[in-house]
Each structure stands twice: as structure tokens, then as C-alpha cells.
Structure 1
Amino acid sequence: MGTHVIKMPDIGEGIAEVELSQWHVKVGDLVVEDQVLADVMTDKAMVDIPSPVHGKVIALGGQPGEVMAVGSVLISIEVEGAGNLKESAAPAPVTQAPAAPKVETAVESKPAAAAAPRPAAVCQGPMVAREADERPLASPAVRKHALDLGIQLRLVRGSGPAGRVLHEDLEAYLAQGQSNASAPAAAAYTQRHDEEQIQVIGMRRKIAQRMQDATQRAAHFSYVEEIDVTAIEELRAHLNEKHGASRGKLTLLPFLVRALVVALRDFPQMNARYDDEAQVITRLGAVHVGVATQSDVGLMVPVVRHAEARSLWDSAAEISRLANAARNGKASRDELSGSTITLTSLGALGGIVSTPVLNLPEVAIVGVNKIVERPMVVKGQVVIRKMMNLSSSFDHRVIDGMDAALFIQAIRGLLEQPATLFVE
């Protein structure tokens, strides 16, 4: 028997160290080639580390939450054959997921909190015998799915490599079980004394660090403006009816992106990055719009590059592509960096007012609240209009309050008179 040592691979982009987010194996486990061993976290992405060999795990190189240098020992696996110690980097890591969005939505996304928790499922078929503290193999997305479904993952039989639980296994578990709706009503009044401690690591720690850093460094101020979106919603419905089948359906997002592009022509100071160490503001001609998106692993901000050169449908297609990539864990590092201004929304849960946190080093973020129908006075008459608030934040070190108000009012004028979005 020999030992195969896998070192922390070079993720690229000049990254010297990464955070070990989660182990999918433990000492003593048998693993197969291409089985995911661990998740590691870079500044932007969650990355799967697969095994290049078959064998038995004999040592783990770190604990979840530990920051490890590229090239350090990640895991040691006992393999068949004569073996002097064989050191190798893991095979090409697979980007699993970077953030999200959904600051919140995210735009185009439904926050995980929006889904009402389902009752715990009770399986009537054969269950897996695992100890109460045994952690079954499963990806973060599968664990999140199980939590949403109310399933105890340790009870689910895994059909993946080395017993890894897959999404299909959750569905199979539900198919052979039923909800606990028939449980005695008295159970609802049973005292509970359990506690759960959740280590803040991986994507959640990165989000926490970025939010804390942004609020400590930037002088945030927010500005809220009410917008009548009746006309642009009518235009959107008309365009979808006429061209939706051939060009794809339009949401409000590509119109908002277009409004940003047009408004920024008169307010270039909003499309900027501020290096507060060098005390330099860089204004950019290119408009790279970050679209805050919620994923199973947290908030991500995929970037619609060169929005100034895109049509409505081009923007819509790119937003949809990036949002799907982020939610499915397929977004690349390049797709998650380089934004110059950010759009954020909670979609239908957008509330009345929000106070979004800047996506440093940007100096402006435009927050979208939900659309509601309200009676409004128009030309002396009370009529029903579709109204929406923009709750936006700015870095007061760079942006004056009057400029911020004028910028948002310019966006308001463009959206309330949608023909002006396309007048050059």
C-alpha cells in the first residue's frame, strides 16, 4: 500500500491562500476517483476539490474555517500498490458557487427566506441507519434543499459515489414518505431545549467580512424616491406579447439597466470606484452592472459587462444567463468581479424601503423595492397606478447628497417616460 498526498491546488488569479469550507469525507472513508473531497472558498467562489484516485482517507490537512496556503497538504489517501509518498495537486477544481445577490435578490431571484418551510417528511420506506451525529456526504446545495424540505439528511439513502446524497435521493425519500401532518396536536406544545451552533465559515464569512468592511470604510447615506412604473410596465407587457416568443420575455431589470446607462451619461461620478488608500477616484466609461443575486450558498454579484452597448433583449439574456450560472454554482471568477455600479432587489418581497450596503470599491448602489398598485392623484383625478420605490445608497465621501438625488430623479424620469430611454 502507498500514500497519495493531495496538496491544495492553485485556483488561479494569483490567489495564495483559500479557506477550507467543508469536508465531504472523514478519516477512514473509502473514496473513488472524481468524488468530491472538500469545498474551498476563495474571495469570490466556492470550489469543489475532487479526488484523483481511489483509496482510503488516512489524514485530513485542516479544519473547516481554516485558511490554507496553496501547496499545503490538503488530504492523504492510502492507495493500492507500492508506494513511496506521492504528492500531487488535486485535479482541476470545479467552481461551485461564488456572490449572492440575491445584498439581497437579488434581482431576478427569490430569496431563500421567501419559501415557507415545509413540514418534516416522514419516510415509510427503508431508512439509512446512521448515528445522530454522523454527517452524510452531500453538497451544500443538497443540504439546503433538505433543510427547505424538512428532511433529516442522515435518514436519506445516498445513491452517489461513496453514498453521497443527491437531489434525486431527496425526491425519492419524499416519494416514499408523507408529511407529519397527522402527528398529535400536543406535539406543537412540547417544550424544546435544543441549541445549534453554526460556525461562520465559507461564503457566509466572506459576505460578513465584505459587509462589515463596507459599512466601516464608506460613509453610507441612502436616498429613496417613489416612481410611477405604470407606463413602463405597459410597454414591457406589449413587447412581451409582440416579441416574447421569438426574443424571450423581458422583466423590469433590463429596463432598469438601460435607465442606469442613460442616466450615467449626465452623472459619471456614480459609475466609479474609490481607492480610499490611494485617495483616487476612477470614473469609468464602460458600465459594468453588478446584479445582486441570491444563491444556495449566499449572496453573489454577477456582472453584466458593457451594459452601455447592449439592447434590452441582450441585457435580459445576459442577466438570465448570469443569474442561472450563479445559482447553479457555475459562475466564473471573471463573471463575479469588475462591476462599476450595482443593482439590488428583493423582487416581490422588496418591501417599501431598504438601505442597501455598497459593493466596495463602488460608490453607488441602486435598490429596487416591490411594485404595488395604489390610488394616486393624476391631473386632479384619483386613479390606480403601479408604484415602486428606489432605495439607493451612496458613498458620501465621493457623492454629494444633491447629486445622488438628481441621479435617482433622472432614473425616475426615464422610467416614467419610457420613450426617453431610447432617444439618443
Structure 2
Amino acid sequence: MGEHVIKLPDVGEGVAEAELVEWHVKVGDLVREDAVLAAVMTDKATVEIPSPTDGEVLWLGAEIGETVAVGSPIVRLKVAGEGNTAVKEAPAEAKPAKGEMSRQNVPDLRAESAGKTASLVEVEPEPAPLERPVPRLPVSGPARDAGERPLAAPAVRLRAKEAGVDLRQVPGTGPAGRITHDDIDAFLARGRQVARPTGLAPNTAVEDVKVVGLRRKIAEKMALAKSRIPHITYVEEVDVTALEDLRAALNKEKAAGRPKLTLLPFLMRAMVRAISEQPALNAIYDDEAGVIHRHGGVHIGIATQTQSGLLVTVVHHAEARDIWDCAAEVARLSEAARDGTAKREELSGSTITITSLGAMGGVATTPVINHPEVAIIGVNKMMVRPVWDGTQFIPRKMMNLSSSFDHRVIDGWDAAVFIQRIKALLETPALIFVEG
């Protein structure tokens, strides 16, 4: 038998280290070749580490949440044959494990007992006595009636009298409800409060959840964004009645193979039109170098909720995509993010981001900018509300846009102009399709 050491492989993209986010095996497990041993995360991309051979897991080299350098040992397997490293033999004078005696240090009791009248008998260690469970004093119980005499020993009654305790208010835990000294102690510890007969009790449990993997990266990204970017949030309501009518008509008449249209593709196209008039909104701010990188290509990040947390997938070059192409790409990337197959380039490179909670979007939100971008557009839920048209109230489909901007780069006026342009395009959706 030999030992095979598995090291963290080079996962590409010049990554020098990765965070261990999941173990699929434990010490003692038998694994087959190509079985997944662990999962590591690098810059929001999760990579699975397979076993290169059959074997038994002898050792795991890191805890969940630890950062491991590329080339560091992470698993040791016992394998048939020589393996790829020499097996370390246990030292000859190794101490026996706790609770276990070394046979070479045990005298031969049978030899010593020869010729003696009494023979030595191997005696099994006497089991430790079981701890008697301590009955838990009740924290609740009904008060007695005014005329009912509580059961208690004279000493207990004397103590209650000296402490000013009304025994009719003390629940008893002794036989037939007899009150004991412990019952007096429990009553005084509660602050002389009469227990209620509801059965409710305080829950003092505390669960410690280690922040690892995607959740840790989200926390770091949000902390960085809020600590470095002075946010300004602008909220505006949009009448999307005409847009919803157009969307329903296009979905009804769509050709086979085309994706179903949601509101997002229309918003994406409206943003492309508005950015062409205000290119400063489509930028990355390098605050270390003091340089604003204005991009010609509009690469829209779409915040996508997954089981692991929030991922931002990126629709690259939205300026070169029509409504249907935008819809298809959003659907494809969302599916890839949820099933964990999104590629690194599909999760990076955004220049402006859309965040939406759909039907749970609330009336207004305060989105956090996706650092180092300078703007994020937040979509709130759509509601039918009465709107005054000058003569009467009529039902309209209304939706708020809650958008945040980097106030170091974008002035409040420019932010308002940008959102008002998007509002005009969404309220008159035909303008989205008019070029020039």
C-alpha cells in the first residue's frame, strides 16, 4: 500500500489561492477515481476538485472557509501500489492511543500467577455510574385558588413567610404538588412573577454560522462599496401600462424558438439609449489611480439570486443586441448562475448593473453600487394604482425605479436626467425601437 497526496491544482486565470467552501468526503471514506473530493471558490467561480485515483481518505488539509495556496496538499489517500509519496511509518516507541494499553508493556499475568493459591482473573473496568438526571423545575404553572391550601413542609412555610412569599403563587414540583425549597428558589429567581399557564418559555439558543464562500465574498464586496462610494439614491415612478400592453402583444405573436419577454430587455434597451446621451454613467472609477474609465460597450450586470447567494451575471455588449437577443442572454445567464455552470467571464466585466426583486421589490429600495461601477438601476414591484388624468382617476400599472449613483463621479442633476430619460422611453416604448 502507498500514499497519494492531492494538491490544490492551478485553476487558471492566474489565481494563486482559493477558498475551501465544501468537503464532499471525510477521513475514512473510500473514493473512486474522478469522485469529487472538495469545492473551492476563486472570485465567485466555484471549482470542484476530483480524485485522480481510487483510495481511502487518510487526511484532509483544510477547514471550510480557509484559504489554500495553489500547490498545497489538501487530501492524502491510501492507495494500492506505491502512490506518489512515501508512507510515513509510525515510530516504534509511539505512545498508545488514549484509553488503550500497549500489549508490549503489559506483564504476563498468567505467568506471575503460577503456583499461587488465587488465580488472577481479567476484570472488565467497572462502568462509570450513570448520572441521575436532575429534574428541571417548571417555569410555568397556574396560581392556586384563594381558598386552596398549598402543600409544604413546616420549614418551607417558615422560609416563605420570612421571605414574604405567598405559597399559593408558587408551583410545586414535589409529590402531589408539594412545594420544596427548590421551588421557592425558582420563584425568587423569576423575580416573584406568577408563571403564566401558556407553556411559553424563552429560547436562549445561539447558532454560530461561519461566513464562507460566496456569502463572504458578497460581504466583502458590499463593505467595500459602502465604505468607498458615497451613494446618492434617486427614486422615480414610471407608468408602464403601455409597455406591459406591448410586451403581452409581442409575447403572443413571438416566433417559435424566441424567448418570453420580461420587463428587463426593454429596460436594458432603454438604458443603452440613455447611455448614448450620457456616457459618463457607463463607467468604472479607479479610485486608487483617480481615473474614470468610460466604456463604449454597454456591459450590463444582472443581479441574480441563487441558492448560494447573489451573483451578478453580465450581458456583454448590450448595445449590439435587440430586445429578443437581450431576453435570450438574460435567460441563459440566469440558468447558468443557478446551476453553477456560469463561466468566469460571464460573471465579470460589467459597466452598469440592474437589480430587481421582482414581485417582492417593495415600493422603494436603496441599491448598493456594484463597485467599481458608478451606477446601479433598481427595479421595484409593479402595482395597479389610481392615477389622476386631469378629469378622473384611472387604473394604471405603476412601477418605481430606485437607482443609486457614485456622487464622486455623478452629480444629482445628471442622475435625474438619466432616470428621466429612461422613464420617458419606458412610458412611450415605441421610442425604444426608433433609431437615431
CA distance in 2, matches of 1:380, 1:409: 25
The answer to whether structure 1 residue 37 and structure 2 residue 37 are counterparts is yes
Q: Name the residue aligned to 2:377.
A: 366
Q: Name the residue aligned to 1:386.
A: 397
Q: Name the residue aligned to 1:153.
A: none
CA distance in 2, matches of 1:83, 1:410: 67
Query: What is the identity, as a one-letter code, of the residue corresponding to 1:283?
Result: R
CA distance in 1, matches of 2:282, 2:350: 9
Bigger relative CO (Cα 8 Å, ≥ 6 apart): 1
The answer to whether structure 1 residue 19 and structure 2 residue 30 are counterparts is no
Shift of 1:62: 1.1
Gaps of 5+ in 1: 88-185
Query: What is the identity, as a one-letter code, of the residue corresponding to 1:416?
Result: E
Q: Name the residue aligned to 2:78.
A: 78
- Is the CA contact (8 Å cut-off) linking 2:364 and 2:400 kept in structure 1? yes
Query: What is the identity, as a one-letter code, of the residue corresponding to 2:213?
Result: G
Q: The residue matched to 2:385 in structure 1 has which SS?
A: strand
CA distance in 2, matches of 1:246, 1:203: 34
TM alignment of 1:178-217, pairs within 5 A: 192-217=203-228
The answer to whether structure 1 residue 69 and structure 2 residue 65 are counterparts is no
CA distance in 1, matches of 2:79, 2:5: 10
CA distance in 1, matches of 2:233, 2:256: 39
Q: TM-score, normalised by structure 2?
A: 0.72
Query: What is the identity, as a one-letter code, of the residue corresponding to 1:352?
Result: V
TM alignment of 1:22-421, pairs within 5 A: 22-85=22-85, 192-243=203-254, 245-421=256-432
Shift of 1:45: 1.2
Query: What is the identity, as a one-letter code, of the residue corresponding to 2:58?
Result: I
Cα pair distance change 1:388/1:56, threshold 3 Å: same
CA distance in 2, matches of 1:227, 1:26: 55
Cα pair distance change 1:325/1:248, threshold 3 Å: same
Cα pair distance change 1:188/1:239, threshold 3 Å: farther
CA distance in 2, matches of 1:305, 1:244: 24
Query: What is the identity, as a one-letter code, of the residue corresponding to 2:380?
Result: N
Q: The residue matched to 2:254 in structure 1 has which SS?
A: helix
Query: What is the identity, as a one-letter code, of the residue corresponding to 1:47?
Result: V
- Is the CA contact (8 Å cut-off) linking 2:5 and 2:84 kept in structure 1? no
- Is the CA contact (8 Å cut-off) linking 2:318 and 2:326 kept in structure 1? yes
Query: What is the identity, as a one-letter code, of the residue corresponding to 1:20?
Result: L
CA distance in 1, matches of 2:406, 2:20: 33
Cα pair distance change 1:270/1:82, threshold 3 Å: same
Shift of 1:194: 3.5
Q: TM-score, normalised by structure 1?
A: 0.74
CA distance in 1, matches of 2:84, 2:386: 79
Matched-pair identity in % = 61
Cα pair distance change 1:4/1:372, threshold 3 Å: same
Shift of 1:220: 0.9
CA distance in 2, matches of 1:189, 1:255: 53
Shift of 1:41: 1.2
Cα pair distance change 1:364/1:58, threshold 3 Å: same
Q: The residue matched to 1:205 in structure 2 has which SS?
A: helix
CA distance in 1, matches of 2:199, 2:256: 49
Query: What is the identity, as a one-letter code, of the residue corresponding to 2:39?
Result: D
Q: The residue matched to 2:277 in structure 1 has which SS?
A: coil
Q: The residue matched to 2:372 in structure 1 has which SS?
A: coil
